[in-house]
Amino acid sequence: MRALCWRGVNDLSVEDVPDPVILNDQDAIVKVAATTTCGSDLHLIDGYVPAMESGDVLGHEFLGEVVETGPGVDRLKKGDRVVVCSFISCGRCWYCEHDLWSLCDNSNPKPGIAAALWGYETGAVYGYSHAMGGFRGSHAEYVRVPFADYGAFRVPDGVDDETALFASDAAPTGWMGADLGGVGEGDVVAVWGCGAVGQMAAQAATLLGAERVIVIDRFRERLDMAERHIGAETLDYTATDVGAELRERTGGRGPDVCIEAVGMEAHGTGPQHLYDSAKQRLRLETGRPQALREAIQACRKGGSVFLLGVFVGWVDKFPVGALMNKGLTVRGAQQHGQRYIPKLLDLMAEGRLETRQFATHAMGLDAAPRGYNMFKHKRDGCVRAVFHP
Ligand SMILES: NC(=O)c1ccc[n+]([C@@H]2O[C@H](COP(=O)([O-])OP(=O)(O)OC[C@H]3O[C@@H](n4cnc5c(N)ncnc54)[C@H](O)[C@@H]3O)[C@@H](O)[C@H]2O)c1
Ligand SMILES: [Zn+2]
Ligand SMILES: [Zn+2]
């Protein structure tokens, strides 16, 4: 089959790779109908996630048709149209049973690297390095889906592919940020990053009762999209002092909940950005936490900061003093998709959750390197490139 392979930093190619086969009774094989770029892939392409190997198949956000099931699969059958969670989770370990699906104890067959980095390994992700399991990704014609009864969800008839596709990763990630970030009735929520993940966090915050949602980015077309589809307020960080502006807009108090949806490759202005860029290139810090610092600094006293943007290791000048003295709650997580996907599909079917607008560019798999180039540089208003293998 054809698949998009990582060959090295900024080097992608579409190649022939072996077809996947059922390896475990609980596996299914899914024929991919649509698969999309994610900001997390940029961290792989740019070389900031360890344990990538030449030839690894990329992609983790996808939807397709079940074409084969192992004898241990009970809830799915051949022909089902399913969206598959980007995280692979067993459904039976302590973490899965406590709804902390991305922390699954059983899905990562190569736990050594993650355990060395973080103290304990986490669950596995499709196409996301050998630290996260070394599974083949979804930018391919077919994917092996382990623990299929837990990871693949039947899509309701009324929901089209380009809407349901984002229930795999972007939508549950954003929803988790608002939910576990503790957004409640009447809150003011600020979201850094206006990609699909930030926009989903903003949309979730609105649905969870936030009174005002302010989204921060520098790309006008992304901010316009958030205004149009969510009714969010927007803020261009290159045109204004974000902290001062948020204070001004909140009567001097600051946002109740701050959600960071930018991650380890934050863009920035000024000397701090140059410092972070140089240190990251020299691997003296593994991420550029500009947006995270800003979120902690801007958050109201006693407020909550939720980190959705991906980081892998260590960062400098983490504002621990602000965290401690302002009594903040700071949390982060990889997405617990299995916890949210059924509810998100229902909201999509009711027309209350909009995701289709993210699919700004559709193309065949052979054009995927061009799609990633466009997505990485945010050219031509690209929010997400969607590949149809
Ligand atoms: N926690 C999870 O499970 C999970 C899942 C999916 C994605 N992610 C992460 O979420 C992040 C966003 O993903 P995406 O697909 O939306 O990516 P994206 O690249 O489309 O969007 C990131 C946005 O952040 C903006 N940005 C950069 N620097 C900024 C700054 N200093 N302040 C404000 N905005 C800034 C960029 O302009 C861009 O629009 C990535 O780090 C990705 O790895 C996490
Ligand atoms: Zn992702
Ligand atoms: Zn598990």
β-pair partners for 141 = none
Tokens standing for residue 124: 């596995």
What's the pLDDT at 165?
98
pLDDT digits (tens, 9 = 90+) for 243-270: 999 999 999 999 999 999 999 999 998 8
DSSP element (H, E) containing 128: none
Nearest CA to 291 out of 282, 278, 311, 279 is that of: 311
Ligand nearest 122 Cα, by number?
Answer: 3
Helices (H), the chain: 39-45, 94-97, 112-118, 148-151, 161-164, 170-180, 196-207, 220-230, 242-249, 271-281, 290-298, 320-325, 337-349, 368-376
CB hemisphere CA count around 288 (13 angstroms): 21
Q: What is the Cα–Cα distance from 176 to 191, expressed in whole angstroms?
A: 13
Question: CA torsion, points 184, 186, 192, 194, in degrees to nearest 10?
Answer: 100
- 3-state class (DSSP) for residue 118: helix
**pLDDT for 371:** 98
Residue type, 68: E
pLDDT at res. 48: 94
pLDDT given for residue 85 in this prediction = 98
pLDDT at 10: 97
Angle of helix 196-207 relative to helix 220-230, nearest 10 degrees, comes to 20
| Residue among 235, 226, 162 at smallest CA distance from 200 | 226
CB-proximal residues (5 Å) to ion ligand 3: 89-90, 93, 96, 104, 106
Closest among 50, 48, 62, 51 to 3, alpha carbons compared: 62
Given its phi and psi angles, is residue 380 left (phi above 0), alpha (psi -120 to 50 degrees) or beta?
Answer: left
pLDDT at residue number 227? 98
Distance 39 CA to ligand 1 centre (A): 6
Q: Measure the CA–CA gap between 124 and 104, rounded to whole angstroms.
A: 8
pLDDT value at position 100?
Answer: 98
Ranges of residues in the chain whose predicted pLDDT is under 70:
none
**If you measure from the C-alpha of residue 335 to the centroid of ligand 1, how many angstroms do you get, rounded to a whole number?**
14
Q: Is 124 helix (H, G, I), strand (E, B) or coil?
A: strand
Give the chain's mean pLDDT: 97
pLDDT at 258: 99
- Beta bridge partners of residue 212, listed in sequence order: 188
Residue 56 has a pLDDT of 98
Burial (0-12, 13-18, 19+ Cβ within 10 Å), 274: exposed
Strands 124-125, 142-145: pairing is: unpaired
CB atoms within 10 A of CB 92: 13
CATH of domain 2-169+335-388: 3.90.180.10
The ligand that comes nearest to the alpha carbon of residue 49 is 1
Which candidate, 48, 117, 51, 49, places its Cα nearest to that of 276? Answer: 48
Decide: 250 and 262 in contact? Cβ < 8 Å.
no
Q: What is the 252 CA–ligand 2 centroid distance (Å)?
A: 35
Kindly give the number of the ligand 1 atom that is closest to the alpha carbon of 290: 31
Integer Cα distance of 197 and 190 in angstroms: 13
Instruction: Tell me how far apart the 2 most distant CA atoms of the chain are, in Å.
Output: 60
Give the end-to-end CA distance of the chain in Å, rounded to a whole number.
10
CA of 35 to the centre of ligand 1 (A): 18
* Atom 21 in ligand 1: residue holding the nearest Cα: 195
pLDDT at residue number 341: 98
Tokens of 44: 């792989």
Ligand 1 geometric centre to CA of 142 (Å): 27
* Torsion, CA 262, CA 267, CA 268, CA 271, rounded to 10: 120
| Domain regions of the chain by residue span | 2-169+335-388, 170-332
Substitution site in 42, 217, 311 for ligand 1 pocket (most atoms within 8 Å of beta carbon): 217
Exposure on the CB side of residue 10, measured as CA atoms within 13 A: 5
Question: Could you tell me which residues come within 8 angstroms of residue 357 by beta carbon, excluding any fewer than 6 positions away?
Answer: 225, 229, 383
And the tokens for 148?
């299929």
CATH number of 170-332: 3.40.50.720
Residues with CB under 6 A from ligand 1: 38-40, 42-43, 169, 173, 192-198, 216-219, 222, 237, 261-263, 266-268, 290-291, 308-310, 334-335
**pLDDT at res. 116:** 95
* Residue 317: predicted pLDDT: 95
